[in-house]
């Protein structure tokens, strides 16, 4: 697995929980190619390396939020235990606990993903500051331009996929639908 593809995978799994950018244990286990329970065991054996600002365990309410937001398909994925959330420093420390060549390569890719995310956030914040300064220096006739630029700067929410129709249609259903459409005209 190439470093860039690992970094892209990691970027998709980075979440904002408790105002911190984190990766959850089951996503990290998948990236590292180990079982989640093995990853958790390694962390528990080296708990002194993971203070609260490196790792925290999810609360039941946070797990419910993850399920409701479809971050995880259900509690069954967790194996009965709330997931650990690793901050950037926790991920860096994790590579010293998981001592494989793959762990080192995955860790480098994940660090690059965190850096790229930080750069994107910084660039967007810098652009917002410049835009605000420009808006103050121009009169109201450019307001529409500035409002449009702000729209481009805000991340788009993905549109929900259209739902597939459930069931089947008989030839009689098709004829009935066509005759109803003609009657409406």
pLDDT surpassing 90 at residue 44: yes
pLDDT digits (tens, 9 = 90+) for 1-41: 565 677 677 778 888 888 888 889 988 888 888 888 989 99
Q: Which pLDDT tens digit goes with each residue over 81-133?
A: 889 999 888 888 887 788 777 777 777 777 777 777 777 766 777 777 776 77
Query: How far apart are alpha carbons 41 and 94 in whole angstroms?
Result: 12
Tell me the domains of the chain and their CATH numbers.
Answer: 3-118 (3.10.260), 120-153 (no CATH)
- Alpha-carbon Rg of the chain, whole angstroms? 24
Question: What mean pLDDT comes out for the span 44-54?
Answer: 92
DSSP the chain: --HHHHHHHHHHH-EEETTEEEEEHHHHHHHHTS-HHHHHHHHHHTGGG--TTTEEEPPHHHHHHHHHTTSSS-GGGGTTSPPEEE-HHHHHHHHHHS-SHHHHHHHHHHHHHHHHHHHHHHHHHHHHHHHHHHHHHS-GGGHHHHHHHHHHHSPPPPPPPPPPPPS---HHHHHHHHHHHHHH-
pLDDT higher than threshold 60 for residue 62 = yes
b/e for 66-96, b at 16 or more Cβ within 10 A? Answer: bbeeebbeeeeebeeebbbbbbbebbebbbe
């Amino acid at each position: 697995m190439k470093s860039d593809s690992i970094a892209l995978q990691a970027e998709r799994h980075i979440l904002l929980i408790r105002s911190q950018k984190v990766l959850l244990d089951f996503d990290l286990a998948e990236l590292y190619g180990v079982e989640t329970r093995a990853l958790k065991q390694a962390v528990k054996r080296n708990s002194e390396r993971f203070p609260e600002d490196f790792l925290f365990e999810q609360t039941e309410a946070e797990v419910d939020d993850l399920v409701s937001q479809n971050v995880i398909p259900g509690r069954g994925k967790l194996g009965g235990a709330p997931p650990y959330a690793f901050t950037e420093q926790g991920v860096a420390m994790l590579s010293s606990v998981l001592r494989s060549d793959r762990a080192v390569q995955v860790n480098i890719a994940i660090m690059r993903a965190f850096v790229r995310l930080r750069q994107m956030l910084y660039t967007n914040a810098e652009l917002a500051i410049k835009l605000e300064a420009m808006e103050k220096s121009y009169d109201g006739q450019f307001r529409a331009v500035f409002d449009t630029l702000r729209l481009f700067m805000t991340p788009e929410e993905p549109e929900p996929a259209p739902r597939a129709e459930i069931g089947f249609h008989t030839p009689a259903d098709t004829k009935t639908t066509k005759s109803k459409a003609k009657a409406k005209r």
